[in-house]
Amino acid sequence: MAADATDEELAASWEASVGDGQSAADDAWDAAMPSSGGGGPSGDQPQSIAQAAVGSERILNQDEIDSLLGFSMEEENGAKKNGIRALINSALVSYERLPMLEVVFDRLVRLMTTSLRNFTSDNVEVSLDAIQSMRFGDYLNSIPLPAILAVFKAKQLDNFGLLTVDSNLIYSIVDVLLGGRRGTIAMRVEGRPYTTIERVLVTRLVEVILNDARKAFDPLTAVDFELDRIETNPRFAAIAQPANAAILVKLRIDMEDRGGRCELLLPYATLEPIRKMLLQNFMGEKFGRDNIWEGHLATELWSAPTTLRVVLDEFMQPLGKMMNLQIGDTLIMNATPDSKAHLMCGDIHLTTGQVGRIGQKVAMRVEAPITQATKKRIMEAR
């Protein structure tokens, strides 16, 4: 009987809870389906039901979706990527990891300012707009046409680079070198290829920039940049795979009321041989070198004491015989009075000479100079 009473109590409580849930569901149904006039359903019943069903879900707006995916209008201004886009581009090389690059390009700006002033006989100001990392394929797709692309080779690095000169700078250089008046805007003729004169003048400009780039890398390492070819179609200037990372340097060249932009692109594969040099930190313009310390080290090396041995003859004997030597035993050497003695520094043979006497001291007269190879071996041994 007790078990039956318990079952009846559980059934009653279960029925009460189900009834409360049904009442709450009916109230939600009535709220979601407002009646019109006589209490009948309105014409927006399906839409109201759907809104009630998804009312608790969070719907992202367009800005939040763009932020999640990493797409925004700020990318054109060099802003940092985030979201999924940042994960995709995480393999790119950041120039901030190569501290010496910024020093080299700052030096390039100063050298170009002087060189272009001499080249154009005009007041030229060169400024560094930006240094950024990007994929080579993205850069080719972003080049504004028309433009001239100069492909050059870095001989010591055994790879190529790309120098892009935009149309504004091309017409400005042509106008300046051919005696155009100041204060007038360079004439631009759209829809035609560049003439031979324009290409030759721009080639001279590119050679000046590449020569300055060589000087900018000189304190770090010797790199000769040689112009390979001039292209006007980006598809013919493919020097790397589209997915390869590259360092892009944007330069602004102003000649009073004229000027334009040029961009220097170096694939990461080109900089790989000198990556260790680009990773080092620096102080000032010395690129890690200290002339005072170099002079002090050279002085100490010249004054360092060195132990020398004069060897008359060398021969081999059994160890047992040498251990049994007694006072008065004689060792016969193969040297004669006219034999040359050998001057030794450790195990390194320096030179030969004649043994003699000066006062109460035994002396040796050097008869052959010390060769450069011998000096190098001594320095390596030290």
Q: Report domain extents, the chain.
A: 95-279, 305-324+333-381
Q: Which CATH architecture has domain 95-279?
A: 3-Layer(aba) Sandwich (3.40)
Closest CA to 230 of 201, 257, 256: 201
Please, which residues have CB within 8 angstroms of residue 120's CB and are 6 or more apart in sequence? Answer: 173, 176, 177, 255
SS3 77: helix
Q: How many CB atoms lie within 10 A of CB 14?
A: 10
Distance CA 141, CA 151 (A): 17
pLDDT of residue 37: 43
Angle subtended at Cα 270 by Cα 265 and Cα 216, rounded to the nearest 5 degrees: 70
pLDDT of amino acid 8? 64
Contact 278, 100 (CB under 8 A): yes
Contact 354, 343 (CB under 8 A): no
| Rounded CA separation 76/144 (Å) | 14
* pLDDT value of position 38: 44
Considering the four listed CATH numbers 3.30.70.3000, 3.90.1150.10, 3.40.1410.10, 2.30.330.10, the one that applies to the domain covering 305-324+333-381 is 2.30.330.10
- What pLDDT is stored for residue 265 in this prediction? 92
pLDDT by 10-residue block (mean), the chain, 382 residues: 55 55 52 46 48 58 72 49 54 61 89 91 89 88 88 91 91 85 59 83 93 90 90 88 90 87 91 83 54 85 86 85 87 80 83 86 84 68 60
Angle CA 210–215–217, to nearest 5:
95
Measured CA distances, 232 to 202, 223, 235 (Å): 12, 26, 9
**Inter-residue contact 189 to 174 (CB < 8 Å):** no
Residues sharing a CB contact under 8 Å with residue 198, sequence separation 6 or more, in sequence order: 170, 174
